[in-house]
Amino acid sequence: MNWERVWTAANWERLLVGDLFNTGQAGGLLITLAIGVGSILAGTLIGAVLGVMRSSERRWLWVPAMLYVQVFRNVPLLILVFWAFFVPPVFGLNVSQFTSVLLAISLFTGAYIVEIVRGGIRSVSPGNIEAARALGMSRLQLLAWIVMPQAFYNMLPALAGRYVVSIKNTSLAFLIGLADLTEIGKQIGARLMTAPIEIYLTLFLIYFIVNRGISSATRLLEKRERFNALFLRV
């Protein structure tokens, strides 16, 4: 084991921010987090909208949402990334690597979150909904003030799981040549040539810390008072 060759200041800098301070080209953990956070936000948005549609009783609302879920859940993410990156140029559209990876992971994560949102909405007790209807709330008000806040709280553990998967999935970016954490790690490994164990263990460590951070953060939110203080300020 020769950790001193792997854990040099220059290598750590490349792993964390890529060549940001040399050439202005961001990379490493920075890009991984940018894709991760971006796809988490976009995926949650897609999931929330389509999840509400999926819970509806009207066929023209739930069928498209169901089709979306079936299509995007049953295809490997790598195939989606390839669709987003290699196919648009064929039709004369140029998409950057960052955009295509972000798009693919957002759509993929969204498909899973649809089902989570649907489960969350189901978990709200019907009595609450009847009470809100009796009070004369419109359907939109009912959704915004009664159903969604409770559903969101119930969805937290499942959402945390999906978010961790999203962060893990950003590592696919290196297969289309984006300088994310995995790619930088591979580059350092290729340059050193004799220390694959050390470099990949370092990558494991970084991903592990980030993902455990997400799980712990949501576990903090699972304390009811904390959740209410943050999201339900009435």
Partner 1 sequence: MKLDFSILWGDPGLLILQGLVMTLKLSAWSLLFAMLIGLVFGIVRWLGFRLLEPICWFYVEFSRNTPPVVQILFWYFSASYILPPWAFLQLRDFGYEFGAAVLALAIYHGAFIAEVIRAGLNSIPKGQFEAARALGLGLSQSLRFVILPQSTRVIVPLLTNETTALIKNTSLAMAIGVIEMTYQYKHIDNFLFRGVEALTAITVIYMILCLLTAGAGALLTKYLSRHVQRRGAQQPVLASE
- 7 vs 21, which CB is nearer to partner 1? 7
Nearest to 147 by CA among 162, 169, 132, 165: 132
3-state secondary structure (DSSP) of residue 19: strand
Among the residue ranges 12-20, 87-95, 152-160, 218-226, the one whose residues contact partner 1 (CB under 8 A): 87-95
- 93 vs 230, which CB is nearer to partner 1? 93
97-123 vs 148-169: helix crossing angle, rounded to 10: 150
Among the residue ranges 5-13, 15-23, 168-176, 221-229, the one whose residues contact partner 1 (CB under 8 A): 168-176
C-alpha 72/C-alpha 99 separation (Å) is 18
| Residue 225 sits in the site that holds partner 1 (CB under 8 A) | no
* Shortest distance, position 173 Cβ to partner 1, whole Å: 10
- 23 vs 67, which CB is nearer to partner 1? 67
In sequence order, which residues have a C-beta less than 8 Å from that of residue 45 and are 6 or more positions away? 110
The β-bridge relationship of strands 18-19 and 25-26 is: antiparallel
Indicate which single residue of 11, 44, 109, 171 sits in contact with partner 1 (rule: CB under 8 A): 171
Indicate which single residue of 67, 78, 144, 220 sits in contact with partner 1 (rule: CB under 8 A): 78
Place of tokens 């549609």: 53
Indicate which single residue of 3, 7, 21, 208 sits in contact with partner 1 (rule: CB under 8 A): 208
